[in-house]
Amino acid sequence: MHEEIPLSRPDITSAEEECVLQALRSGRLSQGPFVEEFERLVAQRAQCRHGVAVSSGTDGLHLVLRALGVGPGDEVVTTPFSFVASSNAILMVGATPKFVDICPTSLNMDPGKVVEAIGPRTKAILAVEAFGNPTHMQAYQTIAARHEIPLIEDCCEALGTTHRGRACGHYGRAGVFGFYPNKQITTGEGGMIVTDDERLAATCRSLRNQGRPIPKPGEHALGTWLAHDRLGYNARLDELSSALGVAQMRRLDELITGRQRVARGYLTRLMHRHELILPTVDEGTEMSWFVFVVRLATGWGRVERDRIIASLRRHDVGAADYFPCIHLQPFYRELFGYREGMFPIAETVSQRTIALPFFTRMTDRDVGFVVQTLELMLERELLAR
Ligand SMILES: *Cc1c(COP(=O)(O)O)cnc(C)c1O
């Protein structure tokens, strides 16, 4: 008997345990040195000057949109092919997501369609690096600059990825990372805003902390604790989670090497399967690999894909349909009247994706077993045609 191979699994060692214990024993459980160190480490990795730790990636996106003054009546150009949080953050500030279809290779927004979608009400572009792929980020940067609107980078799936030495997180006016347990590093729950814009960072710091003013140098935090400059939130990340994040960041290179090894294992084993489209990585891109998502070739559909995922799960192989299109989620249909066929590329891609088990500790044997099981399912589907 073999054990179940999960879709993902965090990589926690004694280094993380010790760091969290140190925070726990310090007596300081919120707004302390681990938050600061974690902010420094993530900002540095993203080649940004400031990091603002928050309680989730979703909160990070929400605070950035608020800080940039995006609100009711505004439109934000974004992708329908993403985890729902990227677009929900836009709804949270009362603005409207203006979806544009994706490019079938990179799975990121088609830059030409981004240009077409920009109108007088467009207040920002919120670009997602789908599965951590930074393709077109420079194009969005140029478009945003030309229209004098900010680019927000949802780099929640891209920590540690670089393109020609330039890190994900630095492309936008602000970037946002997420640290849910399936990401490259985890803090349990958590997120980080990164930016070069000092004022934006300060506003986000205030918004995450009940709208409190930022204490001036030399000023005691208690002096400003009951002052509230604006409507804020409690989106602080605690010291324990930040300590976990610090230990994970110190191991980031090791974690990325592990992910690259597993990705290579899949790529070499699946290369010859003409029923599958494998992830495309641009020349010059060093992926940190958030997930490993294959997709059935054109001509296959949702029925076959769903059957394959169900059989993989029956064989103890974790698999998932990353991602259903956001515009087709029930409340988006209801709110905006979206229907099938409105973003055809995102829809046909999304109907054929299969996320395979993917985590640093996957052995070569695990990868072999997943591939063998997937191949069995493909053979079955071929026979049934
Ligand atoms: C993970 C993720 C987020 C943030 O998720 P949280 O669970 O709120 O940390 C946002 N956008 C994308 C594209 C993601 O993958």
> For residue 365, what is the domain's CATH number?
3.90.1150.10
- CB of 58 within 6 A of ligand 1: the answer is yes
C-alpha distance from residue 148 to each of 140, 196, 345, 353 (Å): 12, 17, 28, 35
- Pick the residue whose CA is nearest to atom 4 on ligand 1: 57
One-letter amino acid of 186? T
pLDDT of residue 219: 82
Asked if residue 9 is part of any domain, the answer here is no
Sign of the CA dihedral running 129, 134, 140, 141 = positive
End position of a domain, from candidates 233, 250, 267:
250
- Residue 233 sits in a domain of what CATH number? 3.40.640.10
Asked if residue 1 is part of any domain, the answer here is no
% of the chain with per-residue pLDDT over 90:
94
Task: Examine the pLDDT at 222 and tell me if it is beyond 90.
Answer: no
Task: Examine the pLDDT at 47 and tell me if it is beyond 80.
Answer: yes
- The model's confidence at residue 326, banded by pLDDT at 50, 70 and 90, is very high
Indicate if 339 and 232 belong to the same structural domain. no
Asked if residue 271 is part of any domain, the answer here is yes
- CB of 185 within 6 A of ligand 1: the answer is no
- For strand 285-286 and strand 162-163, is the pairing parallel, antiparallel, or unpaired? antiparallel
Task: Examine the pLDDT at 1 and tell me if it is beyond 60.
Answer: no
- CB of 161 within 6 A of ligand 1: the answer is no
End position of a domain, from candidates 250, 280, 296:
250
Indicate if 272 and 367 belong to the same structural domain. yes
Indicate if 240 and 257 belong to the same structural domain. no
Query: Are 63 and 233 in contact, with CB atoms under 8 Å apart?
Result: yes
- CB of 128 within 6 A of ligand 1: the answer is yes
Ligand 1: centre distance to CA 64 (Å): 14
- CB of 56 within 6 A of ligand 1: the answer is yes
Quick: pLDDT tens for 126-138: 999 999 999 999 9
Q: What is the mean pLDDT of the chain?
A: 96
Task: Examine the pLDDT at 2 and tell me if it is beyond 70.
Answer: no
Ligand 1: centre distance to CA 178 (Å): 5
Asked if residue 5 is part of any domain, the answer here is no
Q: Which two tokens stand for residue 210?
A: 């009940």
Indicate if 118 and 216 belong to the same structural domain. yes
Q: What angle do CA 341, 343, 344 make, to 5 degrees?
A: 60
Indicate if 280 and 354 belong to the same structural domain. yes
| Mean pLDDT along residues 5-29 | 98
pLDDT of residue 220: 82
Q: Among 155, 156, 291, 358, name the best residue to mutate to test ligand 1's pocket (greatest count of ligand atoms within 8 A of Cβ).
A: 156
Asked if residue 162 is part of any domain, the answer here is yes
Quick: pLDDT tens for 177-186: 999 999 999 9
- CB of 184 within 6 A of ligand 1: the answer is no
| Mean pLDDT along residues 17-24 | 98
Quickly tell me which residue has 């997120």 as its tokens.
191
Q: What are phi and psi of 375, to 5 degrees?
A: -65, -40
pLDDT of residue 339: 97
**N-terminal to C-terminal alpha carbon distance within the chain:** 31
Q: For residue 321, what are the domain limits?
A: 252-384
Asked if residue 231 is part of any domain, the answer here is yes
Indicate if 85 and 130 belong to the same structural domain. yes
- The model's confidence at residue 218, banded by pLDDT at 50, 70 and 90, is confident
Q: What is the DSSP letter of 151?
A: E
% of the chain with per-residue pLDDT over 70:
99
Indicate if 233 and 257 belong to the same structural domain. no
- For strand 96-99 and strand 122-128, is the pairing parallel, antiparallel, or unpaired? unpaired
The residues near 212 (Cβ < 8 Å, ≥ 6 apart) are 206, 224, 225, 227, 228, 229, 232
Q: Which atom of ligand 1 is nearest to the CA of 56?
A: 9
- CB of 350 within 6 A of ligand 1: the answer is no
Burial of 356 (0-12, 13-18, 19+ CB in 10 A): buried
- CB of 191 within 6 A of ligand 1: the answer is yes
Indicate if 198 and 264 belong to the same structural domain. no
| Mean pLDDT along residues 273-296 | 97
Indicate if 105 and 191 belong to the same structural domain. yes
CA proximity to 44, closest of 187, 196, 172, 178: 196
Give the H/E segment covering residue 383: helix 364-383
CA proximity to 165, closest of 326, 286, 62, 280: 286
CA pair distance 313, 300, nearest whole angstrom? 20
- CB of 75 within 6 A of ligand 1: the answer is no
For 384, the 3-state DSSP assignment is coil
CA pair distance 154, 136, nearest whole angstrom? 13
Ligand 1: centre distance to CA 155 (Å): 9
Task: Examine the pLDDT at 362 and tell me if it is beyond 70.
Answer: yes
Q: Which atom of ligand 1 is nearest to the CA of 290?
A: 15
Query: Are 42 and 194 in contact, with CB atoms under 8 Å apart?
Result: yes
- The model's confidence at residue 226, banded by pLDDT at 50, 70 and 90, is confident
User: What's the chain's Rg over C-alpha atoms?
Assistant: 21
Indicate if 143 and 25 belong to the same structural domain. yes
Ligand 1: centre distance to CA 27 (Å): 30
Asked if residue 117 is part of any domain, the answer here is yes
Asked if residue 207 is part of any domain, the answer here is yes
Q: Which atom of ligand 1 is nearest to the CA of 191?
A: 9
| Number of domains comprising the chain | 2
CA pair distance 63, 328, nearest whole angstrom? 25
End position of a domain, from candidates 185, 215, 250:
250
Q: Among 153, 157, 159, name the best residue to mutate to test ligand 1's pocket (greatest count of ligand atoms within 8 A of Cβ).
A: 157
Indicate if 91 and 189 belong to the same structural domain. yes
Sign of the CA dihedral running 26, 31, 35, 36 = negative
Task: Examine the pLDDT at 258 and tell me if it is beyond 90.
Answer: yes
Task: Examine the pLDDT at 251 and tell me if it is beyond 90.
Answer: yes
CA proximity to 70, closest of 212, 213, 174: 174
Task: Examine the pLDDT at 98 and tell me if it is beyond 60.
Answer: yes
Indicate if 83 and 225 belong to the same structural domain. yes
Give buried/exposed letters for 264-289 (b at 16+ CB in 10 A, else e): ebbeebbeeeebbbebebeeebbbbb
- CB of 85 within 6 A of ligand 1: the answer is yes
Judged by average pLDDT, the poorest of 29-43, 151-165, 219-233 is 219-233
